[in-house]
């Protein structure tokens, strides 16, 4: 939108770039390597991608609710409970990557159709309290890069280079 400031533009662009960044971080890993836990942390690359996919749905819901409703409740989620209960190692990497890209693509289109003042709308996070769409978007936009950093550190171990 032409009335967006640089902060909004950068937040939306960073959000939109996440899926390709994630895909590149797991490119070239074998089926065995994507299921192998490796430091830092103990999750395998597939588990990391599944975590991101599961929370993309939550983040998209939060953004949609804040856009559509008046200060909606935005529930939290426990990543460890999701990982323990949602069959991460049985899931398909390509399906998860596609889901992330599709979800982000839909939200990106919605956001790009909204005027600057829409990014000021708020929800009430169940743990963090009031949060604007812009703050949500910045947080979500950092989620994939945060995990890609860990995935990059895992690659040498998985590839036998460490």
HSE-CB at 156 with a 13 A cutoff on CA atoms is: 6
HSE-CB at 74 with a 13 A cutoff on CA atoms is: 29
Task: Provide the residue ranges of all domains of the chain, joining segments of one domain with +.
Answer: 6-158
Q: Give how far the C-alpha of residue 56 lies from the chain's centroid of Cα atoms, to the nearest Å.
A: 5
The model's pTM = 0.94
Tell me the CATH architecture of domain 6-158: Up-down Bundle (1.20)
Going residue by residue through the chain, which has 162 residues, state the pLDDT in tens, using 9 for 90 and above: 568 999 999 999 999 999 999 999 999 999 999 999 987 668 999 999 999 999 999 999 999 999 999 999 999 999 999 999 999 999 999 999 999 999 999 999 999 999 999 999 999 999 999 999 999 999 999 999 999 999 999 898 888 886
Is 83:50 a contact under the CB 8 Å cutoff? yes
Q: Which of 61, 33, 59 has the alpha carbon at shortest distance from 47?
A: 33
């Amino acid at each position: 939108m032409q009335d967006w400031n640089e902060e909004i533009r950068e937040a939306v662009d960073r959000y939109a770039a996440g899926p390709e960044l994630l895909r590149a971080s797991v490119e070239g890993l074998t089926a065995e390597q994507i299921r192998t836990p490796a430091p830092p942390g103990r999750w395998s690359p597939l588990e990391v991608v599944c975590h991101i996919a599961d929370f993309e749905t939550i983040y998209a819901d939060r953004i949609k609710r804040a856009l559509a409703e008046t200060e909606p409740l935005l529930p939290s989620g426990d990543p460890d409970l999701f990982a323990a209960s949602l069959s991460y190692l049985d899931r398909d990497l390509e399906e998860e990557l596609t889901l992330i890209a599709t979800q982000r693509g839909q939200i990106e289109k919605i956001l790009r159709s909204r005027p600057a003042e829409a990014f000021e709308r708020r929800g009430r996070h169940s743990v963090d309290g009031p949060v604007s769409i812009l703050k949500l978007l910045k947080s979500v936009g950092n989620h994939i890069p945060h995990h890609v950093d860990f995935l990059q550190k895992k690659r040498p171990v998985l590839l036998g280079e460490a």
